[in-house]
Amino acid sequence: MRKLFGTDGIRAVAGEAPLDKRTIYAVGVALATKLAEAHHPVRIVMGMDTRESCPWIAATLTAGLRAAGADVASAGVLTTPAIAFLARKHGFSAGVVISASHNPWQDNGIKIFAHDGYKLPDEVELGIESEITKVLATNPTVPENPAVPEVNESYRADYIRFLLTAVPGISLDNRHIVLDCANGAASSVAPQLFESLHGTVDVTHASPDGRNINEHCGALHPEIVAAQVKVSGASMGITFDGDADRALFADENGNVVNGDAIMLACARDLQARGELANNLVVATTMSNMGLEAAFARSGIRMLRAPVGDKYVLEEMRNSGASLGGEQSGHILFPARATTGDGLLTALLVLDLVHRSHKPLGQLIADLTNYPQIILNVKVREKLPLNTFPTIVAAIAAAEADLSTTGRVVIRYSGTEALARVMIEAESAEAMHHHATTIANAIRTELGV
């Protein structure tokens, strides 16, 4: 079982294990050592989001990589999917991103992409973890003030060209949109990209200060951009998370549009163009039952994968699906990119609206969601839930009551110390009752 890597790399409070300097240095040495088994020379491209801890983490990681013989190129502040693209385009051995995505500014993380632009398989992460343990056992000396490579600004231009090429002829057609950059990595790319598309663009939350990433803005708070759409009379709102690998939207009426709805609109468009392979879409256990029903009405089958875009992509590759994603806004278009990309998703949705001559709200008007609630419970440790009788009993009662009229999904977050309680039901009263009961049971047994 992996101990350092979660569903999206290594993530923790910056400065605390496993994101203390000693471990970060060991990650660099271990990664370069493992890559050297297949790559000569080892070349790494590195990017980061806007957290104040990113520069010292990047410097420490670079020192470890270089100590093991790797060459490191810096893309500076740039989105996670941009690094995946650059790793593949320029033949790097790997791409590394310093980011904690949607987490608060105090957290940070290390994400790794293979030379082909895909996230590392679990077994490869296990191998790196084993090597990290070996490095730490040698009690390595971490340099006091390691240097970082000079930022190569051409990488950003490369990525913008890729996005525009991926959606040829993209234009806002003089439409008015609101763009929320979450004070994160999108701030370095999105304003330049969207302001070149011949429309009116209100850019918000694009002034990062190291601590305001995701703070009351971005994909964690899509209601913010939705309200701005209403106030400004814009035709659409788009909001990203801290590293811009996902996007959520607001329609022309100021309603929040999540990843489920975007998958529905995109699936129907691909189906109409004969590009929806096997009439199949891969979602996750968190996607609403209403989405499944809407797909069925269009003759589209939906498979569910575990939460995490890497697991969605894994199921897509196994099933041959050409579209997949998460309710949270990770949408995967494997014909165009190797990972979820919020900026690419935004361009494709704008292109769909343009070609259909319909506003976003109209494209998803028949999507009726079951009442759904997600409660997050902070936990002190992630022990198996089935070892606690009170939690087991609460879950069993909910499953029995909702056997044909809802769903119960209880899981630990792969990136935070949280248990997530998701209940979906025809009855809002039953939904709230069971969600609260299960959350209270978890809080009693494992709560902070």
Residue 154's contacts (CB-CB under 8 Å, 6 or more residues apart) are: none
**CA gap 99, 82 in Å, rounded:** 13
Is there a single domain that holds both residue 53 and residue 129?
A: yes
Q: What are phi and psi for residue 405, nearest 5 degrees?
A: -125, 15
**CA gap 75, 209 in Å, rounded:** 19
DSSP tally for the chain: helices H, then strands E: 14, 18
Identity of residue 112: I
Q: Which domain, by its residues, includes 65?
A: 5-152
Contact 410, 422 (CB under 8 A): yes
Distance in Å from the first CA to the final CA of the chain: 24
Is there a single domain that holds both residue 276 and residue 399?
A: no
Q: Where are the beta strands (DSSP E) in 336-402?
A: 372-378
Is there a single domain that holds both residue 364 and residue 391?
A: no
**CA gap 135, 111 in Å, rounded:** 19
| Domain final position from 152, 171, 201 | 152
| Tens-digit pLDDT string for the chain (448 aa) | 678 998 789 999 999 999 999 999 999 999 999 999 998 999 999 999 999 999 999 999 999 999 999 999 999 999 999 999 999 999 999 999 999 999 999 999 999 999 999 999 889 999 999 999 999 999 999 999 998 889 999 999 999 999 999 999 999 989 999 999 999 999 999 999 999 999 999 999 999 999 999 999 999 999 999 999 999 999 999 999 999 999 999 999 999 999 999 999 999 999 999 999 999 999 999 899 999 999 999 999 999 999 888 899 999 999 999 999 999 999 999 999 999 999 999 999 999 999 999 999 999 999 999 899 999 999 999 999 999 999 999 999 999 999 888 999 999 988 889 999 999 998 999 999 999 999 999 999 999 8
User: Cα dihedral sign for 154, 103, 223, 253?
Assistant: positive
Is residue 101 annotated as part of the catalytic site, yes or no?
yes
Is there a single domain that holds both residue 140 and residue 202?
A: no
Is there a single domain that holds both residue 211 and residue 253?
A: yes
Is there a single domain that holds both residue 230 and residue 175?
A: yes
| Domain final position from 119, 137, 152 | 152
Q: Each residue of 105-128: b (16+ CB within 10 Å) or e?
A: bebbbbbbbbbebbbbeeeebbeb
Helices (H), ranges, 115-221: 122-137, 154-166, 190-194
Is there a single domain that holds both residue 295 and residue 420?
A: no
Q: Give the CATH number of the domain where residue 184 resides.
A: 3.40.120.10
Catalytic residue from among 101, 188, 287, 328: 101
3-class DSSP assignment, residue 13: strand
Angle between the N-to-C axes of helices 428-446 and 389-401, in degrees from 0 to 180, rounded to the nearest 10: 170
**CA gap 380, 344 in Å, rounded:** 37
Is there a single domain that holds both residue 247 and residue 345?
A: yes
Burial class from Cβ neighbours inside 10 Å (0-12, 13-18, 19+) for residue 159 reads: buried
Residue 297's contacts (CB-CB under 8 Å, 6 or more residues apart) are: 366
Domain count, the chain: 3
Q: Quick check: pTM over 0.85?
A: yes
| Domain final position from 311, 341, 369 | 369
Is there a single domain that holds both residue 362 and residue 383?
A: no
Is there a single domain that holds both residue 255 and residue 270?
A: yes
